Amino acid sequence: MGYLSFLIVFMLIMSPGISAQESDGGNDPGIIAEENLLAPTPTVTPLPEEVPNWIDTIYNETGLFIQNQVTNTDLLFAENPDNAITVTNSTFRLGVYLQYEEDDSRGGIKFDPDFHADLVLPNIERRFNVFITGRDLDDLPGTDPSEGDSSNVFMGLKKKFSYISTSVGIKVDWPPVLFGNLKIRKLFKFPKGHIYPQQRIYYRTDDGFGEVTSIQLDYWFHENFLTRWDSGVKWTEISTGVEWEESISFAFIREGDLDFLKQAVGFRYSIFGHKVGAFLIDRHRVSLMYRCPIYKKWMYLEVIPEVVFENEFDWNADFGTRIGVDIMFTGVYK
C-alpha cells in the first residue's frame, strides 16, 4: 500500500509537467443604452460607520503590534534603507483548542494550541523566505494536529527553485534541534481536480535522517463537493520499519477554499500502520468536521468529533472531540 504510493510519486515527479489550460476571456465593454445616459444619478445614502467594540479593539491592536514587529525586523535586513520596502501583509493563524479523549489514561482533557505564520518580509525574502509553524514538518499527510506535541515550534529559512524547495531551521526545544529539509513536489491539474505528489528528505539532530513520500488526489464532484485521497509512507532512522497511512475525505465547502476553510462540513476515514516484513495495521480513525464563522471574518469555530480504534488497546473504541476557536490575523486592521 505504502510502496504503491511511493512508485506513483516517483513516476509523476520524473514526468514532464501537465496542467489544464485556462482560456482568458476577452473583456466585453458592453453597450450603454442612450436612455441610461440621460437618467438622473441615484442618491446613495452612506451606511453608518461601525463603532469597534472591545473585541475588535483587542484584535486590531494585537494584529498591528505583531505586524509592526515583523516589519521592523525586516527593515534591519534591507540592503539600502532608502529603498527599503515598508508595506507588508503577513498572515497569522492562532488556534485555541480543547482535546477530550474518553479514556482518561490516554489524556482526558488537554489544552492544544495550534498556530502558523506566513511572514511577508520583502527585504529578507530577496534572499530567503521565513516560516514559523507549530506543526511537525515530517508528519504523514493524514496525521491529526492533535496527535503532535502542542509545544512544538519550528522556525527557519526556505528557498524555492521551481519544483524543489530547501529549508533549514531550528525546533525550539532544549537542547535545540536543528533540521534541514529538501522537498520535491509537482502539481498536475485536470478538469475537475488535481494530483499532488511530494517527496521530502530531511535531517534532524535528534532523529537523524528520514524521508516522507506522499500523494494527494482531489476531485470536485460539484462546485462545493470535494473528495480527497491521501497516501503516504515515512521512514526514519529511529522508526520501526516503514510507517504508512491512507485517508479518504468528503467535504461540503460552503465558503472558503482548500488553503483556508471558512464554512464547511466533512467526513474523514484514516488507517495507519507500519511494515516490518508484513503490513501491520496500528489504528483506524473516523472523524467528522464542522467549521463556521462566529465573529466577522476572522474568528471561526471548529468542532471535530472522532472515534479511534487502536491495535495497542485491543481495538476498543476511544471517543474524543476537538473543539476550539481559530483566529486569523490577515494584515488588514482598522
Q: 207-257 pLDDT, tens per residue?
A: 889 999 999 999 998 889 999 999 999 998 888 789 999 999 999 999 887
Task: Give the total number of structural domains in the chain.
Answer: 1
Domain of 197? 2-11+53-329
Q: Could you tell me which residue, 145 or 56, shows the higher pLDDT?
A: 56
The CATH number of residue 209's host domain is 2.40.160
Say what the pLDDT of residue 19 is. Answer: 41
Say what the pLDDT of residue 218 is. Answer: 93
Say what the pLDDT of residue 248 is. Answer: 94
Say what the pLDDT of residue 23 is. Answer: 39
C-alpha cell at 135: 506543526
Say what the pLDDT of residue 183 is. Answer: 92
Q: Is residue 155 part of a domain?
A: yes
Q: Is residue 262 part of a domain?
A: yes
How far is the CA of 200 from the CAs of 6, 164, 178, 187, 274, in angstroms?
A: 11, 10, 16, 15, 18
- The Cα–Cα gap between 298 and 23 comes to 34
Q: Is residue 259 part of a domain?
A: yes
Q: Is residue 34 part of a domain?
A: no
Q: Is residue 17 part of a domain?
A: no
Q: What percent of the chain has pLDDT over 90?
A: 28
Q: How many CB atoms lie within 10 A of CB 171?
A: 19
Helix (H, G, I), strand (E, B) or coil at 15: coil
CB 280 within 8 A of CB 273: yes
Say what the pLDDT of residue 144 is. Answer: 65
Say what the pLDDT of residue 90 is. Answer: 72
- The Cα–Cα gap between 132 and 112 comes to 17
Q: Is residue 189 part of a domain?
A: yes
pLDDT digits (tens, 9 = 90+) for 118-170: 666 666 666 566 777 766 767 777 676 556 555 677 888 888 788 898 888 88
C-alpha cell at 239: 522508526
Q: Is residue 45 part of a domain?
A: no
Residues sharing a CB contact under 8 Å with residue 18, sequence separation 6 or more, in sequence order? 188, 189
- The Cα–Cα gap between 328 and 197 comes to 28
Pick the range with the lowest mean pLDDT from 32-36, 85-89, 145-149, 173-177.
32-36
- The Cα–Cα gap between 246 and 231 comes to 5
Average per-residue pLDDT in the chain? 77
Q: Is residue 20 part of a domain?
A: no
Tell if the pTM clears 0.85, that is, is over it.
no
